[in-house]
Amino acid sequence: MKTQENLTHEELIIHIFDFFQRTMVHYTLWYNEVVKQLGVDKAMAIMETAWQSSFKIQMERIAKTLNFEMDGLYPKAMVNLDSDTLKSLKKAMAVNWLANDGVWFQAVEFKENMALAKSCNDAAWSHFSPFEALRIKNLLGLSERPGLEGLKQALQFRLYAEVNKQSIANETDTSFDFYMNECRVQLARKRKGLDDYPCKSAGIIEYTTFASTIDPRIKTQVIGCPPDKHPEEWFCGWHFYLNE
């Protein structure tokens, strides 16, 4: 019979990472429930309070257990890393996020079917995109209605901005166009000789909710997104405009 005392060294490592996964899932379930009870704005404020306390508690306990030095709230070894290494780590975190998204999609697709995977993907974006927008607003200290300039700034801090190449064009006082010039997912499919992944339904949810969370006056129109045909210069394009 398997007990805590007779776990092998490898099984103990697996068990530790399983605890990490359970912690992430439980944290997310707390956030989701507070959203249901109090709404997104209050949930975000409460989560910020919870995160500050949780991060400090967890880092101090891990540092004590693994016997590494802290510099304030952060591991000293990480604080001492040079900027280039930190930037590489930041990108690696973003690529891991994208890989995790793909793993979930394929797991549902292979266990069930493509239609259900797309439905789950669209629903996930309806929650994640406004969440990411609110996190960025907090990170940048943006006002409640920062306008198009706030949106331009926020788009640079998305996870996607770390892994894809994007650009802004046709700027006016009341609008601008945003293009995803290189998309890691679509380029990978292209290298394999596959058609573009038809991401338009998810994209509409993603960009519409992101923009309106940054500023509720901002509206979104799709310029083109797979399965739409598009030029070589970009994979998807979005028009953002102020609607006072």
Write a three-state SS string for the chain: CCCCCCCCHHHHHHHHHHHHHHHHHHHHHHHHHHHHHHCHHHHHHHHHHHHHHHHHHHHHHHHHHHCCCEECCEEHHHHCCCHHHHHHHHHHHHHHHHHHHHHHHHHHHHHCCHHHHHHHHHHHHHHHHHHHHHHHHHHHCCCCCCHHHHHHHHHCCCHHHHHCEEEEECCCCCEEEEEEEECHHHHHHHHCCCCCCCCHHHHHHHHHHHHHHHCCCEEEEEEECCCCCCCCCCCEEEEEEECC
- Render pLDDT for 157-197 as a digit per residue (tens, 0 to 9): 999 999 999 999 999 999 999 999 999 999 999 999 999 99
pLDDT for the residue 4 = 84
**Cβ within 8 Å of residue 46, ≥6 positions away:** 34, 38
Q: Enumerate the domain spans of the chain.
A: 8-80, 121-244
Q: How far apart are CA 186 and CA 197, in angstroms?
A: 7
Residue 1 pLDDT level (bands cut at 50, 70, 90): confident
| Average pLDDT score, the chain | 95
- Whether the pLDDT of residue 60 is over 90: the answer is yes
Record the pTM.
0.90
Q: Tell me what pLDDT residue 189 has.
A: 92
User: In 3D, which of 85, 41, 50, 57 has the Cα closest to residue 216?
Assistant: 41
Q: pLDDT (tens digit, 9 = 90+) per residue, 202-244?
A: 999 999 999 999 999 999 999 999 999 999 999 999 999 998 7
pLDDT at 110 over 80: yes
The average pLDDT across 57-66 equals 94
pLDDT at 151: 98
User: For 36-46, how does the pLDDT look when each residue is reduced to its tens digit (9 = 90+)?
Assistant: 999 988 998 99
pLDDT at residue 80 tops 80: yes
Matching residue, tokens 């693994």: 66
* pLDDT value, residue 89: 95
